[in-house]
Chains A and B, each alone.
Chain A
Amino acid sequence: MTASRTNTRIREFRLPDLGEGLTESEIVQWHVAEGDTVELNQIIADVETAKAVVELPSPYAGVVVRLHEAAGTVVDVGAPIVSFEVAAGPDDAVPVPASVPDEPVPAEPAPARREPNLVGYGAAVEKGGRPQRRGRSLPAANAPQPAAVLQPAAAPQPRERPRSTPPVRKLARDLGITLDTLTGTGPGALITRADVLAALAGTPSSTAEPASPGPRPRAVRSSTGEIRTPIRGMRKHTAAAMVASAFSAPHATEFLTIDVTPTMELLAELKAGRAFEGTRVTPLTVVSKAVCIAIARNPILNSSWDEQAQEIVQYADVNLGIAAATPRGLLVPNIKAAQSLTLKDLAQALGALTETARAGRTPPTDLAGGTISITNIGVFGIDAGTPILNPGEAAILAMGAVRSTPWEYRGEIALRSVMTLSLSFDHRLVDGEQGSRFLADVGTILRNPAMVLTMV
Chain B
Amino acid sequence: MAQDGTRPGPGSTGGNDDAGPASGTVLPGPAHAGADDLVQLIDHHGVRHPHGHYDALVADVDGAALQRLYEDMVVVRRIDAEATALQRQGELALWPPLLGQEAAQIGSGRALRSDDFVFSSYRENAVAYCRGVDLADILRVWRGNASSGWDPYTINMATPQVIIGAQTLHATGYAMGIVNDGADSVAVAYFGDGATSQGDVNEAMVFAASYQAPVIFFCQNNHWAISEPVGLQAHVPIARRAPGFGIPSVRVDGNDVLACLAVTREALARARSGGGPTFIEAVTYRMGPHTTADDPTRYRDANELEDWAARDPLARLATLLDSLGLLDAGYTDSVKARADAVAAELREGCLSMPEPAPSDVFKHVYSTPNSWLDRQQDHYERYLASFAQAPQEGPR
Contacts and interface: CB of A to CB of B under 8 A. Distances in A.
Contacts of A132: 395-396
A149 interface: yes
A57 B88 contact: yes
B82 interface: yes
B295 A107 contact: no
Contacts of A110: 90
A126 B82 CA distance: 29
A52 B395 contact: no
A187 B394 CA distance: 38
B390 interface: yes
B295 A109 contact: no
A13 interface: yes
A20 B95 CA distance: 10
Contact of A16 (B81, B90, B294, B391): B90
A14 B289 CA distance: 24
Interface string A124-154: 0010111110111100011010001100100
B88 A16 contact: yes
B293 A51 contact: yes
A58 to B, nearest CB: 8
B94 interface: yes
Interface residues of chain A: helix, strand, loop or mixed (majority): loop
Given A18-B292, A52-B289, A131 B390 contact: yes
B85 to A, nearest CB: 4
B289 A155 contact: no
B370 interface: no
Interface stretch (B16-24, B41-49, B56-64, B381-389): B381-389
Contact of A152 (B82, B295, B396): B396
A59 interface: yes
A142 B293 CA distance: 49
Contacts of B91: 16, 59, 106-107, 109
Contacts of A142: 391
B351 interface: yes
Interface residues of B, number: 31
A266 interface: no
A18 B395 contact: no
B93 interface: yes
A213 interface: no
A20 B93 contact: yes
A51 B82 CA distance: 21
A322 to B, nearest CB: 47
B303 interface: no
Interface in B86-101: 87-91, 93-94
B355 A107 contact: yes
A55 B297 CA distance: 14
Contacts of A149: 393
Given A52-B295, A107-B355, A134-B386, A18 B88 contact: yes
Given A134-B387, A135-B394, A109 B90 contact: yes
Contact of A136 (B85, B297, B394): B394
B395 A128 contact: yes
Interface in A78-111: 106-107, 109-110
Contacts of B295: 51-54
B396 A155 contact: yes
Interface in B291-310: 291-295, 297-298
Contacts of B387: 130-131, 134-135
Contacts of A55: 88
Interface of A: 13-20, 41, 51-59, 106-107, 109-110, 126, 128-132, 134-137, 141-142, 144, 148-149, 152, 155
11 contacts: A16-B89, A20-B93, A41-B82, A41-B85, A51-B293, A52-B298, A53-B295, A56-B88, A59-B91, A135-B387, A148-B393
